[in-house]
Amino acid sequence: MPKRLVFVCSSILVLALAAACGGGGNDTSGLPPAPAGGAPGGATFDMATATGTVSGKIAFEGTPPPAARIQMSADPYCAMSATPETSVSEEVKVSDGGLENVIVYVKTAPAGLTFATPAAPIVIDQKGCHYSPHVFTMMVRQPLEVRNSDMTLHNIHVWAETNTPVNIGQAVQGMKNNINLDKEEVPLPIRCDVHRWMNSFAGVFSHPFHTVSGAGGAYSLKLPPGTYEIVAWHEKYGMKTQMVTVAGSETKDLGFSFSAAAAAD
């Protein structure tokens, strides 16, 4: 059977499966945001009271592995659209000796507080047959908008264990779907079943004390005064934790280190 016909048939099959499963049943754009986290009836947390800062660098020890080249020839559109940035794996991304794409968060938020759900959506885009961003964090019930900016079939498959799994086909450029994640879950893998190299990871939290390390492995968290267990998670090298206490407007430096010799199982 010609390759083009196989691709068309595959596209029709994915759409048929989406329709059979309700298609847009995972689109929750009509649902109003709800308060997330904290105890019922507790005071709504004001971020202005987060006067403490915990920041630092996620250091990488050893020689970073070379970025794996992604083979996209199975889809001519993907191969044609690839750029130097989208055609290599982001599994291990090191710059200036620091590890990027590490989720850093407070394991347990202060008790007795309710945290407002952000109204601004988190957007994950499929462009150049690549998920962007590769790693992100959000709050429960914060809008998550999935876009297809490519002229080829994609799907978003949320491999949830705590939340409800989602698998939505997007066959047309410009398609958008909203996904509702109403429970904490980290890590939350996201993949494309059509293009198996496409993947992303989310951290979904009931509080606002989370971030992702950026260039040079740098991160920063604003926190109210208190003692916290800070967690750093990476898709390949696993998880590390440290305790820290911040008082008033104090800034604490808290570094983490991951080693090339200690890849996660």
What pLDDT sits at residue 58? Answer: 98
Report the C-alpha gap between 221 and 123 in whole angstroms.
21
Where do we find the tokens 């997007």?
170
Q: Tell whether the model's pLDDT for residue 151 goes beyond 70.
A: yes
Domains of the chain: 34-259 (2.60.40.420)
What sign has the CA pseudo-torsion 196, 82, 219, 242?
positive
DSSP string over 147-176: EE-SSS-EEEEE--SSS--EEEEE-STT-E
What pLDDT sits at residue 30? Answer: 35
Q: Tell whether the model's pLDDT for residue 12 goes beyond 60.
A: no
pLDDT above 70 coverage of the chain, percent: 83
Report the C-alpha gap between 118 and 75 in whole angstroms.
37
Average pLDDT value for residue range 178-185 = 97
Q: Is 7 helix (H, G, I), strand (E, B) or coil?
A: helix
- In angstroms, how far is the first alpha carbon of the chain from the final one? 40
Averaged pLDDT score across all residues of the chain:
86
Contact 98, 60 (CB under 8 A): yes
What sign has the CA pseudo-torsion 238, 244, 246, 250?
negative
pTM for the full predicted model = 0.84
Residue 99 CB-half CA count within 13 A: 26
What pLDDT sits at residue 9? Answer: 40
Report the C-alpha gap between 218 and 212 in whole angstroms.
9
Q: Tell whether the model's pLDDT for residue 37 goes beyond 90.
A: no
Q: Tell whether the model's pLDDT for residue 1 goes beyond 80.
A: no
Query: Cα 190–37–46 angle (5° rounding)?
Result: 115
What pLDDT sits at residue 261? Answer: 84
Q: In terms of C-beta density within 10 A (0-12 exposed, 13-18 middle, 19 or more buried), how is residue 161 classed?
A: exposed
pLDDT higher for 31 or 155?
155
Average pLDDT value for residue range 182-192 = 97
What pLDDT sits at residue 263? Answer: 65
Closest of 102, 121, 128, 129 to residue 221, by C-alpha: 102
Closest of 180, 116, 194, 117 to residue 146, by C-alpha: 180
